[in-house]
Amino acid sequence: MSRAILLVDHGSQHAPANQLLDRIAGAVRARLPGAIVEVAHMELAEPSLAAALARCAARGVGEVVVCPYFLSPGRHTSRDIPVLVEQARAAHPALRVRVAAPLGFDERLVDVLLARADAAI
């Protein structure tokens, strides 16, 4: 069964913020050549989660792993994204969809944070 990775963030009216998710998706594709990697925004920008899930289904995948691009668990990751997934999945009942945990704690994020602190102006 083929699998797609669907990265989801909040979405923004500020285009560079949305483009960041596209850059992350590109980096995932570079690490996993041939992988199906899509992006979606919860609100304020396109594509929506429903549109991205439909693209995955149209590409013939059997499973989609929705990966919230959020640091911590909260309302969006525990409630909003699962609700949006279930609403979107209704149009694709044969599609298996799983929702991953948010990024959470990882020592590598501490390294990134310290690098940002060192680079602060």
* Segment 52-67, tens digit of pLDDT: 999 999 999 999 999 9
Q: Is the pLDDT of residue 1 over 80?
A: no
Q: Is the pLDDT of residue 36 over 90?
A: yes
Q: For residue 55, how far is the Cα from the chain centroid?
A: 14
pLDDT computed for residue 118 by the predictor: 97
Over its C-alpha atoms, the chain yields an Rg (Å, rounded) of 15
State the average pLDDT over residues 89-101.
Answer: 96
pTM equals: 0.93
Length of the chain (residues): 121
Residue 85 · residue 99 · CB < 8 Å:
yes
Q: How many CB atoms lie within 10 A of CB 6?
A: 26
pLDDT computed for residue 77 by the predictor: 96
State the average pLDDT over residues 16-29.
Answer: 97
Which fold is adopted by the domain 3-119?
Answer: Rossmann fold (3.40.50)
